[in-house]
Amino acid sequence: MRPLKTYSLAGSWSIRVTNDLSLLVRHLEAHAPLSPEDRDAIMSLPAARQTIATSSYLVREGEPAKTCALLVDGIVYRQKITGAGVRQIVSFHLRGEALDFQNVFLGCADHDVRALTPVVLMIIPREQLLLMIRKRPAIAHAVLMSVLIEASIFREWIVNVGRRGGEARVAHLLCEYAWRMDVLDPGKAEYEFPFTQEQIGDATGLTAVHVNRMLGLLEEKGFIRRERRLLRFLDIHGLRRTGDFDPAYLHGNAVLDGIL
């Protein structure tokens, strides 16, 4: 967890490098209690660190899956391209998340995964991961929880894109970003915000041009302030109200500790 050193690749995203799999332990433990042996099993997974440049592909649609990546630092997003050639971004991922459960299990990717910033990964071979999950029910359970929460986020995105106006859509996205960043790095009122307006548009089903106007609106109303690559949240409550944001769908502290 503790940063070894910080440097930056092309672009302005600063990278924190950690040298182990404890991020994965943390991520899974947030969803289900693990025994010391479970933790050891995760920590002794074979894994190779890899660094990836902005906008390159971690996975391409149609590719068979041979590995599972853990996101150590940076931001990653999933996209699908329609027959008409337009893009929809269907999710983004922050430090600490496992990126490829779907592909590992379904075998073939139905979407692309790309780096939004320079990204650091731990690459875990698919078979090792499957074996571990098979042997350790608690880990299997944590993986299931992680997948269920991601599905819940997908549902909320359907609502966002399907039934909210432009202003609310981008406000909602910003709220989700703020919320999820806050979990990683609590109590800050501002965060690096490396999304381009085109990417915001592709995530909200809007045009880059329209996103620009909506961001202007939100700034004008005093909810946010943009300064270079930094986004400052001046009135998070106002933003939540206009974005109709209720963080319940993120299932922040969903840990099923009883029976399983």
- Residues in contact with DNA by the rule CB under 7 A: 10-12, 165-167, 196-198, 201, 205-210, 212-213, 215-216, 226, 228
Nearest to DNA of 148, 208 (CB atom): 208
Residue tagged 């930094």 (tokens): 230
Q: How is residue 224 written in tokens?
A: 């946010």
| C-alpha of 50 from chain center | 18
Give the containing element (helix H, strand E) for 87: strand 87-93
- CA separation for the pair 255, 260 (Å, rounded): 11
For residue 128, the minimal CB distance to a second copy (Å) is 10
Q: Is residue 143 at the binding interface for a second copy, with CB under 8 A as the rule? A: yes
Q: Which of 48, 53, 159, 208 touches a second copy by CB under 8 A? A: 159
Residue tagged 């182990």 (tokens): 20
DSSP characters for 240-254?
HHHHT--GGGG-TT-
For residue 224, the minimal CB distance to DNA (Å) is 11
**Strand order across the beta sheet in which 224-227 lies:** 190-192, 230-233, 224-227
Q: Could you say which residues in the range 222-251 bind a second copy, by CB under 8 A?
A: 244, 246, 248-249, 251
For residue 117, the minimal CB distance to DNA (Å) is 11
Q: Could you say which residues in the range 81-140 bind a second copy, by CB under 8 A?
A: 82-84, 86-88, 90-91, 101-102, 105-108, 110-111, 127, 130-131, 133-134, 137, 140
Residue 20 interface partner, choices DNA, a second copy, none, CB cut-off 5-8 Å depending on type: none
Helix axes 137-163, 36-43, angle to 10 degrees: 70
Q: How is residue 119 written in tokens?
A: 């990204």
- CA separation for the pair 137, 210 (Å, rounded): 47
Q: Residues in the site for a second copy, rule: CB under 8 A?
A: 78, 80, 82-84, 86-88, 90-91, 101-102, 105-108, 110-111, 127, 130-131, 133-134, 137, 140-141, 143-145, 147-152, 154-159, 161-164, 204-205, 244, 246, 248-249, 251, 254, 256, 258-260
